[in-house]
Amino acid sequence: MTFDLRLARGPLLLSCFLLLLSACAPQPVTVTRESVTLSIAIADSCEPLVESVTDRYEASRPWVTVESQVFNTALTEQVLREGDSDVALLSWIWDSHEAGGVSLWTEGFARDGVAVIVHPESPMTDVGMAQLREIFRGRLQEWDGTVLTVVSREEGSGTRAAFERIVLGGESATLNAVVMPSSDATVQYVASTPGAIGYVSTEYMDEVVRVLPVEGIPPTRQTIDNGSYPLWRQLYLASVGEPTGEAREFSQYVLSGGGTGAKVYSPPVDG
């Protein structure tokens, strides 16, 4: 049998033509994003709330590295104003958003409660606003025969600012108060000191202390969100001017519900 080259030439040419077209077709372009570092200053009350948020943000944007620093609210704001942070998370906004000619952009992203905590063996089971005021002004020093030790936070704490504004009408706690430098330190001191009564962000509620209902209302997610729990405050995102670049992306992520949600208190079940 003889093989006719002319019969094979057509399919061969077609195959070559298709290979050529394939080689000339646009190929997918792999774009390597330039690495970005986002600096965040965090008030300590916000730290437990945003820790998982920053982890998820980095996972969704692998070219971004988030570097965070934790201070009290006053120092957090100072770090932001001095340009050492791209964005900040604050637990309190003082009356003026502007200091030294630097204007802050702020936006609330979550509500947080201020929990009143006592030693586990304290005779206190509930407290009213008027009683809290008398205790923290130093005028009510005993409860059912137990001498009370007032525990407060340091100057510059957003939690202290919120507590003093809501409970004390802007006045300071008694000079006899034990002043603690952080939320963790407050919890540990109250847990180890019979008669101690203090306050922390609901993010720092812990089983080593007892959380008191205020006016009969415990600090649950529902009571904080609907405002029936009297000791609540707004948490804020902040930047110098409206955020841009990666700070803007992060802010939009948080404001769109990037996993934030304050810790809740579960009242003990009888029996």
- For the segment 183-194, what is each residue's pLDDT rounded down to a tens digit? 999 999 999 999
SS3 77: helix
Which CATH number do you get for residue 212?
3.40.190.10
For 209-256, what is each residue's pLDDT tens digit? 999 999 999 999 999 999 999 999 999 999 999 999 999 999 999 998
For 153-177, what is each residue's pLDDT tens digit? 999 999 999 999 999 999 999 999 9
For 67-109, what is each residue's pLDDT tens digit? 999 999 999 999 999 999 999 999 999 875 555 567 899 999 9
Task: Provide CB contacts within 8 A for 101, sequence distance 6+.
Answer: none
Residue 185 lies in a domain: yes
Residue 50 lies in a domain: yes
Residue 183 lies in a domain: yes
Both 177 and 219 in one domain: the answer is: yes
Residue 267 lies in a domain: no
- In the predicted model, is pLDDT for residue 15 greater than 70? no
Domain count for the chain, please give it: 2
Q: Work out the number of other CB atoms within 10 angstroms of the CB of residue 101.
A: 6
Q: Could you give the CA distance from residue 238 to residue 134 in angstroms, rounded to a whole number?
A: 35
Residue 28 lies in a domain: no
Asked whether the beta carbons of 201 and 114 are under 8 A apart, the reply is yes
Residue 146 lies in a domain: yes
Both 97 and 66 in one domain: the answer is: yes
pTM equals: 0.82
Residue 6 lies in a domain: no
pLDDT of residue 180: 98
Share of the chain above pLDDT 70, in %: 81
Helices assigned H by DSSP within the chain: 5-24, 47-60, 73-81, 129-136, 158-166, 183-192, 221-225, 245-255
Query: In terms of C-beta density within 10 A (0-12 exposed, 13-18 middle, 19 or more buried), how is residue 175 classed?
Result: exposed
